[in-house]
Structure 1
Amino acid sequence: MATDGTLPDSKVDVLIIGAGPAGLMSACWMAHCGVTTRIVDKRNNKIYCGQADGLQCRSLEIFDSLGFADRAWKEANHMIEICMWNPGPDGAIRRSDRIPDTIVGLSRFQQSVIHQGRVERFFLDNIKKYSKNTIQVERGVLPESLEIDETKVEDDSAYPVTVKLRHLTEEESTPEQQINGSKVSDGIFRSNLIQEDDEDDLIRKSKSRAGTGEVVHAKYVIGCDGARSWTRRALGFELQGEATDFIWGVLDIIPITDFPDIRMRCAIHSAEDGSLMVIPRENKMVRLYIQLKEVTPDASGRADRSKITPEIILNAAQKIISPYKIDYEYCDWWTAYQIGQRVGTDFDAHKRVFLAGDAVHTHSPKAGQGMNVSMQDAYNLGWKVALASKGIAKRSILGTYGSERRRIAQDLIDFDHRFSRLFSGRPAKDVMDEEGVSMEEFKDAFEKGNRFASGLIVNYGPSELVIKAPEPSEEGDQRKVDGSAVTGLSADALAKKQALAPGLPIGMRFNSYKILNQSDARPWHFQERLKSNGRFRVVLFAGNILNLEQAKRVEKFCEALDAPTSFYRTANPAGSSLDTVIEVLTIHSAKRTETELLRDFPEVLHPFDPHTGWDYDKVFVDDESYHEGFGDAYANYGVDKERGCVVVARPDQHVGWIGELEDFEGLQKYFEGCLVLGPKV
């Protein structure tokens, strides 16, 4: 057998393993923040069909902050209504209810569907643009070993993680299909029905060829390599949870049917033949999630995947949807899976190697959460790793990733556990049928689940990044760092700070209402100004700036902000612009036509550049627009229109701190707790 001899080695700030949605979200942050990065994937090509398809409201908000929500929104099929179908007295299915798919008023976006391959394309184009083509997915590359030098993990300048990589041939990196020779792609190779892993065999084959290996020394590694994650296994971590006996098949087809709601999202319970979910897709396609009652696990607890074919899945769908007919001529993709809910024992090792997405939690796909929660894991983690790797943020903030996202993963598992059993259960025949599922209970779970699934009720617990009092639901957090421990303030004092803006719950994402640019009267959703570029935002609700006393309060706050020793000036790397790390945005409540940018607002709120003049894009007003109505932001945020307040938005748009204009010391402490302040090289 040939040997590699001395392997070439290199250094990189961040190595990402896996180029699915979580890996690409991680790479996207690195591109936007200017971090040297490599991203590798053992498969030789991106996804072109099938896999995940649901985009929840929060994911679209995140896409907008990155700059490509418009592409997804235009191409996707928008989900407007859900129809419930249940057995009637005669046992035949009939439409029993209609509910809105997305709760009205939650977001400026609604749930939509588009296949994962297009989402990955949007990411790849965005990464290319912002990295100036320096970050590219390296396909057919597989990690062989991972080592962490524990003596160097606390050294900010060190590269303590060593990963050996192997380069595969085209044949080795092509996944096997379930039915050889079929023109229809399947996703069985990614399904949890597959337990065996092919990495060892692929590494053995690669080793037999000279020049296929290399060594990479990284500051940080992010493992986004799926439910059978190589990275997780290399760290010795496990997924803990259980599998059920429920087996489901999935078909992406252009349906030929007389079912009247085929272009609506539908939850269908048959009397005896199982359940089915209809997801209308783009390009006339429909995705069917079909319970396979005739396929059962064997003694080992796993179903025999060789017995599952598109024909068997369609036959099950035809029984469930009867007396309506359904067939197809075109099938784009199919797969099958066994419902199971598991959460990782650990989310990181030494705050140097992290796991995100399916690598650290798995669940059923019917709630449209897999791709969304995976991307949102990486959205939470990416900016923290980027700022820590650049020496802008303290490494201690990396510990908040596990505490914040573990709660979300556990909430998701709990929700999915209940939802999947209600969906898979037989409908109750009457009130005395204790083994059957109450359809009223199912509808209630569906409606509550939609709110959860939107991603908009995520509420991070207290830490150095979220200054608030702990809540009962947060007692499960592993890191017991609450707001009072960071600030020395009592829970009552912290509650009073929250009362300054009750419509902006600390720990939740910054909700969005329309405001106007002071200088040109253009209306904006405020969230549109919170771009994902690694910056924190200090949002000054300046109140009634025309009131003399309020103007003095604003002026005093701005004097402190502009002082040489303030966090605003000492957070920036040497030679960078004033708002490289922290951007100050202002929303006032006086009449736009009675105020003037240069007359009424201190210079620090609209800085002057000798080359480009005044900055006209940082001061906004809560006023009525000519064409888009009145957002009434102050009222919706619950902020006093005379006195205002100050709010910190983290780089991921979550609210981190709220205080009075006079509480500059508290604001300073917030940034001292999470950023590296002072002179930088």
Structure 2
Amino acid sequence: MSNTVDQVDVLIIGAGPAGLTAANCFNGSNRLRVRVIDKKSGTVETGKADGLKSISLEVLDTFGIGDTIRNESHRVEEVVLWEPDGQGGVERSMTIADRVPELGKPREMTLDQGRIEHHLVANLERHGNVEISWQTQPVDLQINHRQAENPLAYPITVMMKDSGQETSQTQLIQARYVIACDGARSWTRKHLKIPLRGDLTDSTWGVMDAVPKTNFPDIRKVCVVHSAQGTIMAVPRERKLVRFYIAMDGTGLDVPTALSQKTLTVDHVVNAARSIFHPYTFEVGEVAWWSAYQVGQRVADNFSRNDRVFLAGDAVHTHSPKAGQGMNTSIQDAYNIGWKLRFHLEQKCSKSLLASYEQERRPIAQQLINFDREYLELFANPNLQFDEFLNAYQKAMRFTTGIGIRYAPSLIVQSPPMEEKTDNTAKAFAPGMRLPDFQMVNQADGVPTTLYHRMTMNGQFRLLVFAGDIAIQPVYHRLLEFGHWLTDFLRVNPGIETIIVHSSKRAEIELMDLPDVFHPWNDADGWDYWRVYADDESYHDGHGQAYQRCGIDRDDGCVVLMRPDGYASLICRMEQTSQISTFFEGLSLGIPEKVSFSARL
């Protein structure tokens, strides 16, 4: 029997990395009511995913917790390949720097998923506007299709119960939108009858987090060991832990491959590791966690239903954790739909924005599945050649980092007009691509910061103005003209933040000489000193070379309309203001003027 009814703007099902990422997208929103439910009693204690790529750390930077997580993590610097030595043992054959030069920073760190979840939960508690209900699971979900197009409606009804008790008492939640991040065995996906397509092989892998006691010389590096007995991948972690992935099918052990028989034990996994590392000794102290899984690569037919219920992360794509991209893709899914829902609800923009979630993320999921299949075949190859591994791993480093991802043209990705396609305003990225992270120096106080530390997640689009060398009079006057236009534009579109990165020497520029729109006044706390930055040498941290990294002419500059998730919506010159106006006109089409999203029943 149900005796309570709650109404929320957004209900998030699942409090893993994906669900907590989606929830953190709403931090600081006083207008929206967001609730998270999870059948667990709290964050995970051990195991699960453990690798954070640079793109995910940038997301955590926008939440304000990236540095805290970095301080706990282990930084990955090298990858080592070992091969059979022809005498029953193994020998080191190759050492690769775990580095993508375009990033300009470490590519990957490792930390237990439970600690990542802990910091995400603590961040929600600090902001205080998202409620988490543990030991709460859905038992029914219904969509009122007749109300799905009504922006004021709560068309989704979810029945919940306490997962920790055998009770008939339930609670009803009426929600405008639902984000389901409830894992590979997603209750929501099954309830909505959305199938997964792909392969589930018979290949069995063991995985464990353990403190190794060994004389193997590369145990604190990422290493891939091919031996006559099988294949193992070791990934160092925080403290003395190491994550081991072991192909159980190649060890010669009598291990059934069908996980349903549940005959695989941690001793099987340790014994397999011992045989692969031979002639080096291998024992384990603490085994913090272990598991076994069947390799599979599958993606859901749909990522949403009625653009009211959205599925993210493992709920819509499953793959081998050995590729090291599962949690990162889940975080990117959740970030993508999280900012879009917040912007749609707060700015009252077109509901078409929400359709772009599946349009953007499903092709990426399919690319991940294809990559994962090829990557697994590579590791399973007993005759792997050095050059083949090097090329594949370098490709993997770029792919899992997100470099090269480019979303197709859409409502929020505008290709330049045909006559301007040869105008290489920014050579290192394009509309639909994520801006590289770079250092910039605050004009007011000289303190350096990086782009994604500055881009706090608040659901806003940003105009990132690469103003050029404004110490030159013609360039300065061009910025003044843009400032006059921007002042009028922001009166109509107040939910947009403007940030300048100029290429002049910081000492040659006075902040108060710039139009007020670039350092706006607030009666409560005065001028805003965090809108103008210089691409200049800092006193202690060197030069960020922002213009060079973005491929932008230091004299000419450009304007980048930056989505809340860091991807470029459009790139134009300061004179091309009509492109910016047209973009936001298109984003707002179809919204009734009298709709109020702050209404409560």
Same fold at TM > 0.5: yes
Q: CA 1:612 to 1:135, structure 2 compared with 1: closer, same or farther past 3 Å?
A: closer
Amino acid at match of 1:22: A
1:375 aligns to 2:331 (yes or no) = yes
- Bigger drift between 68-77 and 619-628 goes to 619-628
Q: How is 1:508-523 mapped onto 2 (pairs within 5 angstroms)? A: 508-523=433-448
Q: Secondary structure at the match of 1:537?
A: strand
Query: Which position in structure 1 is the counterpart of 2:94?
Result: 97
Partner Cα distance (2:122, 2:404) in 1: 30
Name which of 266, 288, 292 aligns with 1:310: 266
Query: 1:148: how far off?
Result: 1.1
Amino acid at match of 1:169: G
Q: How has the CA–CA distance of structure 1 residues 679 and 633 changed in structure 2, closer, same or farther, with 3 Å as cutoff?
A: farther
Q: Deviations over 1:27-78 (max 9, x none)?
A: 1112243431111111223201111111111111111111111111111111
Give the C-alpha shift of residue 675 in structure 1.
4.2
Determine if the alignment matches structure 1 residue 20 to structure 2 residue 16: yes
Which deviations, in whole Å up to 9, do the C-alpha atoms of 1:314-372 show, x marking residues without a partner? Answer: 11111111111211232111100011000010000111000000000000011211111
Aligned residue type for 1:569: R
SS of residue paired to 1:30: coil
Q: Are 1:53 and 2:50 counterparts? A: yes
Shift of residue 415 of structure 1? 0.8
Give the structure 1 partner of residue 292 of structure 2.
336
Alpha-carbon deviations, 1:499-544, whole Å to 9, x = none? Answer: 1111232212211222222222222223322111111110112223
**Corresponding residue number in structure 2 for 1:259:** 216
Residue 400 (structure 2) aligns with: 453
Contact 1:60 1:109 in 2 (8 A): no
Query: Which is further off, 664-673 or 6-15?
Result: 6-15
Residue 583 of structure 2 corresponds to residue 586 of structure 1:
no
| Farther-moved stretch of structure 1 (532-541 vs 216-225) | 532-541
Q: Judge conservation of contact 1:297–1:303 (CA < 8 Å) in 2.
A: no
TM-score, normalised on structure 2?
A: 0.94
Kept in 2, the 8 Å contact 1:16–1:223? The answer is yes
CA contact (8 A) 2:144 2:156 kept: yes
Alignment-derived partner of residue 529 in structure 1: 454
1:51 partner amino acid: K
Name the stretch that deviates more: 110-119 or 89-98. 89-98
Deviation at 1:447, TM superposition (A): 1.8
What is the CA–CA distance in structure 2 between the aligned matches of 1:618 and 1:592, rounded to whole Å?
14
Query: Aligned ranges for residues 44-83 of structure 1 at < 5 Å?
Result: 44-83=41-80
Larger mean CA deviation between 449-458 and 395-404 belongs to 449-458
Alignment of structure 1 residues 356-371 onto 2, 5 Å: 356-371=312-327
Where 2:103 maps in the other structure, the secondary structure is: coil
Aligned counterpart in structure 2 of residue 635 of structure 1, from 548, 568, 573: 548
Does residue 219 (structure 1) correspond to residue 176 (structure 2)? The answer is: yes
1:478 corresponds in structure 2 to none
For residues 398-447 of structure 1, give each alpha carbon's deviation from its aligned partner in whole angstroms, at most 9, with x where no partner exists.
1111111112111111111001111123x22xxxxxxxx43432332122
Deviation of the 1:295 alpha carbon: 7.3
Per the alignment, residue 204 of structure 2 pairs with: 247
SS at match of 1:63: helix
CA contact (8 A) 2:259 2:292 kept: no
Shift, 1:91, TM fit: 4.3
Maintained 8 Å contact 2:248/2:255: no
Could you report, residue by residue, the CA deviation over 1:245-292 in whole angstroms, capped at 9, with x for unpaired residues?
Answer: 321001211111111111111001112x21001111112111111111
3-state SS in 2 of match to 1:136: strand
Aligned partner of 2:559 in structure 1 is: 646
Structure 2 counterpart of 1:467: 414
Indicate if the aligned counterparts of 2:94 and 2:386 stay in contact, CA closer than 8 A.
no
Q: How far off is 1:305 after superposition?
A: 4.1
What amino acid is the match of 1:151? R
Match of 1:177? Answer: none
2:560 is paired with a residue of what secondary structure?
A: strand
* Corresponding residue SS for 1:667: helix
The residue that corresponds to 1:474 in the other structure is none
The aligned amino acid for 1:154 is E
Query: What is the identity, as a one-letter code, of the residue corresponding to 2:402?
Result: G
Cα contact 1:30–1:36 (8 A) shared by 2? no
What CA distance in whole angstroms lies between the structure 2 residues aligned with 1:611 and 1:282? 44
Q: Which amino acid in structure 2 is aligned with residue 641 of structure 1?
A: R
Distance 1:373 1:513, change over 3 A: same
- Matched residues in 1 for 2:552 and 2:394: separation? 30
Alpha-carbon shift at residue 592 of structure 1 (Å)? 2.0
SS of the equivalent of 1:143 reads strand
- State how 1:60-459 maps to structure 2 within 5 Å: 60-130=57-127, 132=128, 134-169=129-164, 206=166, 209-210=167-168, 212-271=169-228, 273-293=229-249, 302-425=258-381, 427-428=382-383, 437-459=384-406
CA distance in 1, matches of 2:29, 2:434: 20
CA contact (8 A) 1:384 1:393 kept: no
Alpha-carbon distance in 1 for matches of 2:304, 2:595:
28
Deviation at 1:680, TM superposition (A): 7.8
Contact 1:510 1:527 in 2 (8 A): no
Contact 1:257–1:325 under 8 Å retained in 2: yes
The match for 2:4 among 8, 15, 18 is 8
Whether the 8 Å CA contact 2:343–2:460 is kept in 1: the answer is no
Query: Does the 8 Å CA contact 2:111/2:238 hold for their aligned counterparts?
Result: yes
Quickly say closer, same or farther: Cα 1:149–1:270, change in 2 above 3 A: same
Q: If the length of structure 1 is used for normalisation, what is the TM-score?
A: 0.83
Which stretch of structure 1 is more off in the superposition, 412-421 or 285-294? 285-294
Q: Note the 1:520-669 alignment, pairs <5 A.
A: 520-563=445-488, 566=489, 568-572=490-494, 581-599=495-513, 601-669=514-582
SS at match of 1:307: coil
**Cα distance, 1:296 vs. partner?**
8.8
Gaps of 5+ in 2: 597-601
Kindly indicate whether residue 26 of structure 2 is the aligned counterpart of residue 30 of structure 1: yes
Instruction: Tell me the distance in 2 between the aligned counterparts of 1:451 and 1:345.
Output: 27
SS in 1 for 2:512: helix
Q: Distance in 1 between matches of 2:292 and 2:29?
A: 39
**1:507 aligned to 401, 426, 432, which one?**
432
Does 1:493 find its partner at 2:493? no
Residues 250 and 288 of structure 1 are in contact (CA less than 8 Å); yes or no, is this contact kept in structure 2? Answer: yes
* Structure with the larger strand share: 2
CA contact (8 A) 1:392 1:571 kept: no
Q: Is the 8 A contact 1:539 1:648 kept in 2?
A: yes
- Structure 2: distance between partners of 1:361 and 1:122: 25
CA distance in 2, matches of 1:516, 1:38: 38
Change (3 A) 1:640 1:245: same
Shift of 1:569: 2.2
**Structure 2 counterpart of 1:146, which letter?**
L
RMSD: 2.0
Structure-1 residue corresponding to 2:599:
none
> Is the alpha carbon distance of 1:443 and 1:623 closer, same or farther for their aligned partners in structure 2, counting shifts above 3 Å?
closer
> For each residue in 1:204-263, what CA deviation from the matched residue of structure 2 results, as whole angstroms up to 9, or x when unmatched?
xx4xx34x2121110000110111111101111011000223210012111111111111
| Change in 2 beyond 3 A, CA 1:679/1:45 | closer
**Which amino acid in structure 1 is aligned with residue 171 of structure 2?**
E
- Compared CA separation, residues 391 and 643, structure 1 to 2 (3 A): closer
Structure 1: tracts of 5 or more residues without a match: 171-205, 429-436, 469-482, 484-488, 573-580
Distance (Å, rounded) in 2 between the aligned partners of 1:33 and 1:107: 33
Q: 1:603 to 1:361 in 2, by over 3 A?
A: same
Q: Is the 8 A contact 1:647 1:657 kept in 2?
A: yes
Once residues 674 and 127 of structure 1 are traced to their aligned partners in structure 2, the CA distance between those partners, rounded to angstroms, is: 29
Provide the rounded CA distance (Å) in 1 between the counterparts of 2:51 and 2:386: 24
Contact 2:466–2:557 (Cα < 8 Å) also in 1 = yes
Q: State the one-letter code of the partner of 1:317.
A: A
Equivalenced residue count is: 591
State percent identity of aligned pairs. Answer: 39
What secondary structure does 2:154 align onto?
Answer: coil
